[in-house]
């Protein structure tokens, strides 16, 4: 199936058509700067622009940095507050005229990694952690997603963990790799103590620099860098559309 995958982030909105059977991009991705303020209407217009760029009238899978339930945004930690409560599926369908699905961005990246990347054929509990503006998490049990986990907001050192250990904090505070690695280590240790996962996959833009910080982590849980890097959100958003459509079909056939 061909689905236009679109990853909506705080700084950029990126999209490309994806072959969901192989996870391959069918064209070079298009990136447009996220409009500021990133209101629902402004972002929806950018999504339409990306669809037009590919002359797209087929299905679209979008990833957004928020909890998404039945197409509606339930949180807005790293996205304009105007998104709270908005039915993103209805809004984006109206703007683009295409069928749309919406999923949390970390869940999307996790989907992509579990299907085509570092989590392929991995059983047990796999936790994908995306380190970027915030911290996103995706939980997979024997390959099945437990959606909207939001573990980036666990309390660490008396504060919201993502405000202490996200990649954006390293950049803003100009932390050395060593210092930041210690923070990431403390964060993963927290996850480890509560979940005892079988594998951590570290994603987000910084994962391409994994050599600078992953070897410094002292955890006993195996940790691997994401393989799909920048494309995970796009691929995963497209996969999620496919997945949702199949589930809807199953529900219909069960009556
Ligand atoms: C949001 C999550 C998102 C993560 C990464 C967090 O602040 O609450 O929904 O997955 O950032 O973008």
In this predicted structure, the answer to whether residue 72 has a pLDDT above a threshold of 80 is yes
The alpha-helical segments, DSSP class H, found in the chain are: 40-53, 88-96, 105-116, 162-165, 167-172, 177-195, 232-253
Query: pTM for the complete prediction?
Result: 0.97
Q: What distance in angstroms lies between residue 1's CA and the mean position of ligand 1's atoms? A: 28
- The pLDDT tens digits for 81-126 are 999 999 999 999 999 999 999 999 999 999 999 999 999 999 999 9
Q: What is the pLDDT of residue 248?
A: 86
Question: Is residue 191 very low, low, confident or very high in pLDDT (cuts 50, 70, 90)?
Answer: very high
Q: What distance in angstroms lies between residue 212's CA and the mean position of ligand 1's atoms? A: 23
The residue that leads in pLDDT, 251 or 203, is 203
Contact 197, 123 (CB under 8 A): no
Q: What is the pLDDT of residue 89?
A: 98
Q: What distance in angstroms lies between residue 252's CA and the mean position of ligand 1's atoms? A: 32
In this predicted structure, the answer to whether residue 255 has a pLDDT above a threshold of 80 is no
Mean pLDDT of 130-138: 96
In this predicted structure, the answer to whether residue 166 has a pLDDT above a threshold of 90 is yes
> Across the strands, what pairs with 15?
6, 30
Q: Is the CB of 77 under 6 A from ligand 1?
A: yes
Q: State whether the Cα torsion 74-138-192-76 is positive or negative.
A: negative
Alpha carbon distance 72, 91 (integer Å): 10
In this predicted structure, the answer to whether residue 253 has a pLDDT above a threshold of 90 is no
Contact 140, 128 (CB under 8 A): yes
In this predicted structure, the answer to whether residue 252 has a pLDDT above a threshold of 90 is no
Q: What is the pLDDT of residue 188?
A: 97
| Mean pLDDT (the chain, rounded) | 96
In this predicted structure, the answer to whether residue 197 has a pLDDT above a threshold of 80 is yes
Question: Is residue 220 very low, low, confident or very high in pLDDT (cuts 50, 70, 90)?
Answer: confident
Where does residue 2 fall: left (phi above 0), alpha (psi -120 to 50 degrees), or beta otherwise? beta
Q: What is the pLDDT of residue 192?
A: 97
Q: Is the CB of 134 under 6 A from ligand 1?
A: yes
Q: State whether the Cα torsion 203-205-209-212 is positive or negative.
A: negative
Q: What is the pLDDT of residue 3?
A: 98
Q: What is the DSSP string of 179-241?
A: HHHHHHHHHHHHHHHHH--SEEEEESGGGGGGGGTGGG---SS-EEE-SSGGGHHHHHHHHHH
- The pLDDT tens digits for 28-64 are 999 999 999 999 999 999 999 999 999 999 999 999 9
Q: Whose CA is nearest to atom 5 of ligand 1?
A: 136
């Amino acid at each position: 199936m061909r689905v236009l995958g679109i990853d909506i982030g705080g700084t950029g909105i990126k999209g490309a058509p994806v072959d969901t059977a192989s996870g391959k991009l069918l064209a070079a991705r298009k990136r447009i700067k996220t409009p500021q303020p990133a209101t629902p209407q402004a972002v929806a217009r950018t999504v339409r622009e990306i669809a037009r760029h590919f002359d797209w009238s087929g299905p679209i899978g979008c990833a957004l940095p928020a909890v998404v339930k039945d197409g509606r945004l339930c949180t807005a930690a790293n996205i304009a507050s105007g998104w709270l409560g908005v039915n993103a599926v209805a809004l984006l369908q109206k703007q683009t005229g295409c069928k749309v699905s919406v999923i949390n961005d970390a869940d999307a990246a996790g989907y992509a990694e579990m299907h085509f990347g570092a989590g392929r054929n991995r059983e047990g509990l796999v936790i994908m952690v995306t380190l970027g503006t915030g911290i996103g998490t995706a939980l997979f049990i024997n390959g099945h997603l437990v959606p909207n986990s939001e573990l980036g907001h666990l309390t660490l050192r008396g504060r919201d963990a993502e405000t202490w250990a996200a990649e954006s904090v390293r950049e803003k505070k100009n932390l050395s790799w060593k210092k930041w690695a210690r923070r990431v280590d403390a964060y993963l240790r927290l996850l480890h103590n509560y979940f005892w996962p079988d594998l951590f996959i570290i994603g987000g833009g910084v994962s391409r620099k994994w050599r600078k910080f992953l070897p410094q982590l002292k955890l006993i849980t195996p940790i691997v860098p994401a393989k799909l890097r920048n494309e995970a959100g796009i691929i995963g958003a497209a996969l999620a559309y496919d997945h949702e459509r199949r589930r809807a079909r199953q529900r219909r056939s069960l009556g």
